[in-house]
Structures are given as C-alpha cells and as structure tokens.
Structure 1
C-alpha cells in the first residue's frame, strides 16, 4: 500500500497567531492527510495502514501525535483500531448510517414530527424517480425492478412487507444517482420503516389486506415508467402515489413526535 503524501510536520507553536483562530494541531493535520487518501480511494475499505513506526517516520511526528490522528479518524468511522493486534489500524468506509444516527437524534431534539418527515420524503422521492428514469441506465432499472419482488412475496406477511416497502423507497432514491438525495433518504429511513411497521400492523388488525397489493401495483407501475425513460411521468405518478400512501401510513398521526417513533 502506498504511503500518504509526506510533508506534515509539527505545527506552529502556541501563541503564534493572535486573531483568535486556533491553528490545527499536528495530529489533526495528519488525520487530514490520511482522510484525503481514504476519500480519494488511495486507501480502500479493508486496507491496513502501515505500522506506527513507519507512519511516525513518514510524517515526522511522535507516537502520541500519531495516535491523536488515529482517534480523530476512528471517531469519524474511517478507521478501526484493533488494539493489541499486530495488524494495526484498518480502513473502514462508512455508509449512510453514520449520518442517519445523529440525524435522528437532531430530529428528536428539534421536536420534529412524522408530518415533517413525510413532507421531506415527498420532496425527495419524486425527483429521484425522475432522475432514475432519465438515467438510461439498464442496470439501475433492473435493480429497482428487483426490489419489487420482496414486497410482492410478502403481501401475506405484514412484518416482512413493511421492511420490503421501506427498502423499496430507499433504493429508489439510492438508484437515482444523486448522492445527496440518497443520504437524505437514508437519514429518515429508520423513521419511515418504524412508522410503516406500525401502519401495516394497524391495517392487519382492521383486515385491510388489499393495501399491500395496491402498493405493489404502484411499485410495478413506477418501474414501467422508469424503464420507459419517462422522467416527468415517473415524478408525477410517484408524487401522487405518496400523497395517497401517506394518508394511509400516517392515519392522522402527522403531529406524532419522532422521539415517540424511535424509542
């Protein structure tokens, strides 16, 4: 594995600046160099960093400074430290769950409601459907179509259907090709999943079994519009579907606090 670029040395001494802005510590500079290599792909998921002695010599830093850099990267979920092991620090490329957990906490702290979350979903998913339809990417089309089958196979099992349904919505956005939209969808996925589970339990108790089949038909129609490359049509249809689906899923629970769903 190639070493990160060299050039990091001990930072300026304390008091070198008088404008009130703290200069970064040397450990933070080392972490910045390593982080850039991970982001650029020079250090891939699963790679092991060189041993401490090699890195200390390369960056010209002490062991405490290097370990400070490791702690920064570990807190960001970019490396895994295997203490007591000779293998050292292993690169770990985080997924959307890294932002999903703190985002859920912020929504709770802010007093967000289910109405807030579902409004956000309606702002995210229809444009994602349009982007996916216009991508002309057969692999992505096939991937979305494959997501219909788990939902279709679970129409008689409401717990499985809730999971399959929430995952279909998430994958729709992920397959749009827009990373920002995908991260936003991932942030609210857990909330959507839990409320969908509550909704299908209520439907099951009321004997509303046809709700699941109608949802699957909507997924199938969306796939057809996407495969046809009809971006505006896919967006309009999915917006209309979400309006109807949200009424069933929320069941007058728009004002319910997110904290009551996640706990």
Structure 2
C-alpha cells in the first residue's frame, strides 16, 4: 500500500489477545501470597468489603476469586457472623481431587490405573516399613479386622480394602504418594466389576496378603514389604483384567 507521501505501508495483522479474567488475576495474587506465607494457615483473609476497596474490583469478582481458591483447597468459606474465607494448607485430598479430575476427564483406562498402582504401591509399602508409627499400625490392623469379617457385605469388604491400601500410603508419610493412592484406590474401586470379580476365594487371598504385608511393615522389613506388595497388586491386576476382558466380549445371539 502506498501512502499519500509516497512511502510504502506494510499491512500488519495482530493475533487475538487472551486477556485474563479479573477474578483469575485476583485469585492468582491471593494464591501466591498464601503459598508464600503472608497469610498463615487458619487466619482469615480480609473481608469481602475490604477486598473490594483494596483491589477496586467488583464484589462479584472478589467472590469468584474466593470460590476459585476454595476449589483449589487453599481456603474454606464459613458463613454467618463469624464467617469469612480462612486459609488452609492443601493436603492429600487436594492432590487426590486433582488426580481424580484427570482420570475422569481423560477417561483413563482401567489397565492404566492398575499399571500405575503396580508402579507406586510397592514404594508406599517400602516407606511404610521404614517410617510407620504405632498409630499407622493401629490403622492397618483396624482395616485388617474389617476386611476379615465374615458377616460383612460386599460393600463393607470393598471399603475395608480401600481403607487398608490408603492406610499403607499414609504410613509412608509421603503426602504425594498418599494423594495419588487416594485417587487410584477410589477410581479402581469405581471402575471394577466387583460383583463379577470378588468371590470367597478373592476375599481369602486378599485377607492373607494384607496380613503378610502388614507383618513386614510392623517388623520394619522393607524388602519383604516391597516383595509381598508387588505380588499382591500384580495378582490383583491380572485377575481384574481377566474378568474385564471376559465380560467385555459380546456374546453372539443364538
């Protein structure tokens, strides 16, 4: 293009710009200050009215930013005269929630869940044998007692099974592993055809495996804990996938 002065103008095309929402900007600012320690755990963030005044943002924007932090597990919202947004540290449940969203959002295959469990649960058992406390052992034994009950329903057995595996992760005293195991155990439980899989033999084998692994953890025998957990989760994975493969085959009509 030639201008009136005779100079050549080049047409410049700009790409669309992504402008962040005001609530995201405020949530990011508050998040960084919480993680930096400016707002210690248990303390209250400034009231909504004060945040509106300080930031010059609308009350709607402030409330949306606080909801974002609540979903991320960084604050808990209380209502009433003594209410407000109180700072809390993200814990294992925050990790589990994020991992669970990934599992559901990506529709992760059951086989992949079982592979992940085989990869990390022996590490949980090893660390549990090294760092377990009396409280950890009590939690494991309570789950063992519940899973050994002959009068419990299938739902009771399955819940006790999840409780035991989570108890091993908690005994590792590794928050990341515990968060992963919370999500994995719950997702595998929800994805498995338990009625078609769990029978009397599976119950007996599970009880025996759990007790043997618990003994190794109690004795602080990390090597035995790893070996026994590897055998247990691998055998479980093979049995589950055998049932899944069998039930997924469409029976032709006669």
Q: TM-score, normalised by structure 1?
A: 0.70
In structure 1, runs of 5+ residues without a counterpart are: 1-19, 258-263
Largest Rg, 1 or 2: 2
TM-aligned CA deviation for residue 30 of structure 1: 4.3
Task: Say if 1:101 and 1:234 are closer, same or farther in 2 by CA, change over 3 A.
Answer: closer
User: Pairwise mapping of residues 107-186 of structure 1 onto structure 2 (< 5 A)?
Assistant: 107-108=106-107, 112-135=108-131, 137-153=133-149, 156-186=152-182
Partner of 1:230: 221
Deviations 1:114-166 (A, max 9, x none): 21111111111111100110115333233323321221225642221012112
Check the 8 A contact 2:131/2:171 in 1, yes or no. no
**Could you say what secondary structure the match of 2:220 adopts?**
coil
Partner of 1:260: none
Matched, 1:44 2:38: no
Matched, 1:212 2:206: no
Task: Say if 1:155 and 1:43 are closer, same or farther in 2 by CA, change over 3 A.
Answer: farther
User: RCO greater where, 1 or 2, for CA within 8 Å and sep 6 or more?
Assistant: 1
1:202 aligned to 196, 214, 221, which one? 196
TM-aligned CA deviation for residue 35 of structure 1: 2.4
Partner of 2:103: 104
Q: TM-score, normalised by structure 2?
A: 0.72
TM-aligned CA deviation for residue 224 of structure 1: 0.8
Counterparts of 1:216 and 1:119, CA distance in 2? 22
Paired residues in the alignment total 229
Deviations 1:231-258 (A, max 9, x none): 111001110122222233333426999x
**Could you say what secondary structure the match of 2:41 adopts?**
coil
Task: Say if 1:28 and 1:156 are closer, same or farther in 2 by CA, change over 3 A.
Answer: closer
Counterparts of 1:138 and 1:40, CA distance in 2? 34
Check the 8 A contact 2:24/2:65 in 1, yes or no. yes
In structure 2, runs of 5+ residues without a counterpart are: 1-15, 249-254
Cα RMSD of the aligned pairs, angstroms, is: 3.6
